[in-house]
Amino acid sequence: MAVIHDVMPSFGLYQPASVADALNLLDRHGRDAWILAGGLDSFDWLKDRIKRPKAVVDLSGISELQGIRESGDGLEIGAMTTLTEVVRHPAVRERYSLLLEAAEHAASPQIRNQGTIGGNVSQDTRCWYYRTGWFCYRAGGNICYADTPTAMNREHAILGADRCVAVNPSDTAPALIALDASMVVRSKSGERVVPAEEYFIGPGTDITRMTILQPGDLLTAIRIPGTWGGARFYFEKVRDRNVWDFALVSVASAMSDNGETIERVRIAVNGVAARPLRLRAVEDAVRGKARSEETAKLAGDLAIQGALPLQHNAYKVPLMRNLVKRAIRGAEGA
Amino acid sequence: MEEPIIERGTEEKRPISRRDFIKGVIAAGAVATSASYLFRSTGAMFSQSSAQGSVERLITLNVNGQIRRVDVMNQETLAMTLRYKLGLTGTKLGCDRAECGACTVLIDDVPHYSCSVLTHTVRSRKILTIEGLASPRGELHPIQQAVVDEQGFQCAFCMSGFVMAAVGFLKLNPNPTRSELAHGISGNLCRCQDYNKILTAFMRGAEYMRRA
Ligand SMILES: Cc1cc2nc3c(=O)[nH]c(=O)nc-3n(C[C@H](O)[C@H](O)[C@H](O)COP(=O)(O)OP(=O)(O)OC[C@H]3O[C@@H](n4cnc5c(N)ncnc54)[C@H](O)[C@@H]3O)c2cc1C
Ligand code: FES
Ligand code: FES
């Protein structure tokens, strides 16, 4: 756990004023660079001396990365926009309250005042074996300390584990997937726009990374299309304490229905796998069905197919099932 | 020893104009500071800058309305600078990990955990700590007065962080319900655990502020 050291080990600090300068710095320093947004994930790594970057690239002086703009029929959110700014923005409040709910449930007020949405979706896992510096798969070793007979793994994965059983901690991630957002990623070699769903990766793709970002890549913005503006939304996060704590399981859904029948739906969960999971099978199964208790039950049961709990996290299976039921039917219906 | 450095607004090869430099280039170097280093004249700083695009780590901070010159390492947090460089020990360090709120200060009126802010990122911002709340004539801020009147805290280690969080919250929400206030200051923990008294004190403080 947290040990207070006097100060962090030294590093070079770079404060570019433009994305172009930041990309040059990231290119120049490659693997030795560390992107600093709000720092609320970063500082733990640096203070605990587990990651020792040589060049910290602070994005706080880059105004192009800040703020929320209307773009087409949707919104573009700069990567350096704080979670508090997301929560307070009138368009988010009016049309994308799903994202508001998710951002509002993250961490604590002070953390939301400083933590950015770009950092929130790019943050590393909170598996404490990994975070306290154990040389596990994710750290480049060849064991998962959270998946041994005596491991403490109440917070870990029930789905999609592949050697590593860590989960993704982000609250905004499932909401962004449900809203069909896309991530704008730039590097010196150009820009690519990736669906939120594909931004996050599991251990099967690369066991040492949580997202597609490679050294040299910068997430510049998140785009939310108009498609789901004002839809029927559901967000719920279950955690041990109401402040600070990460989700044990969270669910986010966007739905359009004619009062009776589900016409379109997107649904994602987090806290159950190394990446937030979009539940495509559930979406396909409930589309065209009544928004009823029966459909909700079908959705819940389908969602947990293939779940494989560890020693201490079997509770996550019914928890996920019930949250998915609620996402279909609303809290009162499940 | 001449490790990097803060580089601002530029890539390495671009020559840095005097103006860019004035805007805020700071140097590093993990060298112990001597007084001469601290008070080196600006002329010396400029000549150094032209070589590498990098200079002193001596910066200017606006703390409690005062302009303070201070020597800051790249990796230094605001809590460290306030407590150990500027002598403002009213700001406490509880966890040093953004998990308790004891270090809360206002940066441009917004509550932040100063243990989790790099000092070099707040050079152009207004920092307010518990020491800056009372009026220059020594009158307590209404929130402080209410804490005294209600005896809001026990050991009070968490107090300065709580007070700063409450002041920041009340600036935007001057008339909260008790539960809104509780939500607003939920980023602070009290080890002595009488949250009810703390809330009572701050509700009274909010009332004092509205009357003032
Ligand atoms: C005590 C505590 C409790 C928390 N609880 C929650 C919670 O309940 N829910 C939740 O969702 N989060 C929680 N968080 C995480 C917090 O919300 C995130 O750490 C924060 O949003 C990350 O944003 P940041 O700007 O501070 O990130 P940083 O720490 O600056 O960055 C996080 C990571 O992303 C990378 N990065 C940041 N921005 C970019 C970019 N633009 N392009 C490429 N890479 C980038 C950084 O290099 C770093 O690896 C908690 C954090 C703490 C300390
Ligand atoms: S010391 Fe900063 S939050 Fe605990
Ligand atoms: S009064 Fe003792 S920690 Fe809060």
- pLDDT at position B20, please? 40
What sign has the CA pseudo-torsion B2, B8, B14, B19? negative
> Are A245 and A275 found together in one domain?
yes
Q: How far apart are CA B30 and CA B1, in angstroms?
A: 6
> Are A46 and A190 found together in one domain?
no
**How many Å lie between the centroid of ligand 1 and the Cα of residue A68?**
18
> Are A40 and A181 found together in one domain?
no
Q: How far apart are CA A60 and CA B87, in angstroms?
A: 27
> Are A39 and A72 found together in one domain?
no
> Are A56 and A103 found together in one domain?
no
Domain assignment present for A150: no
> Are A22 and A109 found together in one domain?
no
Query: CA-nearest residue of chain B to A104?
Result: B183
Domain assignment present for A131: no
Contact A13 B24 (CB under 8 A): no
- pLDDT at position B43, please? 33
- pLDDT at position B49, please? 30
CA angle in degrees (0–180, nearest 5) for B196-B197-B201: 120
Residue B117 DSSP one-character state: S
Q: What is the ipTM, given to two decimal places? A: 0.96
Backbone angles phi, psi at B3, to 5 degrees: -60, 160
CATH number, domain of A299, equals 3.30.465.10
Backbone angles phi, psi at B140, to 5 degrees: -65, 150
For chain A, which residues score pLDDT lower than 50? none
Tell which of A26, A43, A62 closes a domain: A62
Q: How far apart are CA A328 and CA A297, in angstroms?
A: 9
Contact between A320 and A303 under an 8 Å Cβ cutoff? The reply is yes
Residue whose C-alpha is closest to residue B98's, from A167, A123, A35, A133 = A123
Is A257 exposed, middle or buried, given 0-12, 13-18 or 19+ CB atoms closer than 10 A? middle
Structural domains in chain B, CATH included, are 58-211 (3.10.20.30)
Domain assignment present for A140: no
> Are A173 and A243 found together in one domain?
yes
CB contact, 8 Å: B16 with chain A?
no
CB contact, 8 Å: B95 with chain A?
yes
Quick check: CB of B191 below 6 Å from ligand 3?
yes
The domain of A30 spans 8-62
Residue B50 scores a pLDDT above 80? no
**Nearest ligand to the CA atom of B96:** 2
Domain assignment present for A139: no
* pLDDT level of residue B56 (50, 70, 90 thresholds): low
Contact B186 A16 (CB under 8 A): no
Q: How far apart are CA B130 and CA B143, in angstroms?
A: 11
Domain assignment present for A48: yes
CATH number, domain of A38, equals 3.30.43.10
CB contact, 8 Å: A66 with chain B?
no
**How many Å lie between the centroid of ligand 2 and the Cα of residue A45?**
16
> Are A176 and A299 found together in one domain?
yes
Of B93, B95, B121, the CB nearest to A60: B121
* pLDDT level of residue B19 (50, 70, 90 thresholds): very low
Is A81 exposed, middle or buried, given 0-12, 13-18 or 19+ CB atoms closer than 10 A? buried
Residue B11 scores a pLDDT above 70? no
* pLDDT level of residue B14 (50, 70, 90 thresholds): very low
Contact A111 B24 (CB under 8 A): no
Residue B18 DSSP one-character state: H
Instruction: Specify the pTM.
Output: 0.91
> Are A28 and A93 found together in one domain?
no
Query: Mean pLDDT throughout B100-106?
Result: 98
Number of domains in chain A: 2
Residue B41 scores a pLDDT above 80? no
Quick check: CB of B191 below 6 Å from ligand 2?
no
- pLDDT at position B45, please? 34
Our CA-based measurement puts residue A284 at a distance from the nearest CA of chain B, in whole angstroms, of: 39
Q: How far apart are CA B110 and CA A191, in angstroms?
A: 34
Domain assignment present for A173: yes
* pLDDT level of residue B57 (50, 70, 90 thresholds): confident
> Are A70 and A57 found together in one domain?
no
Give percent of chain B with pLDDT exceeding 90: 72
- pLDDT at position B141, please? 98
Render pLDDT for A157-205 as a digit per residue (tens, 0 to 9).
999 999 999 999 999 999 999 999 999 999 999 999 999 999 999 999 9
- pLDDT at position A331, please? 78
CB contact, 8 Å: B108 with chain A?
no
Contact between A177 and A167 under an 8 Å Cβ cutoff? The reply is no
B155: β partners: none
Domain assignment present for A188: yes
- pLDDT at position B13, please? 38
Q: How far apart are CA B83 and CA B147, in angstroms?
A: 23
Domain assignment present for A253: yes
Tell which of A24, A47, A62 closes a domain: A62
Counting from 1 in the atom list of ligand 3, the atom nearest the Cα of B154 is 1
Our CA-based measurement puts residue B92 at a distance from the nearest CA of chain A, in whole angstroms, of: 13
> Are A110 and A197 found together in one domain?
yes
* pLDDT level of residue B8 (50, 70, 90 thresholds): low
**How many Å lie between the centroid of ligand 2 and the Cα of residue A254?**
36
In the sheet that holds B58-63, the strands lie side by side as B66-71, B58-63, B126-128, B104-107, B110-113
> Are A310 and A187 found together in one domain?
yes
Q: How far apart are CA B95 and CA B145, in angstroms?
A: 27
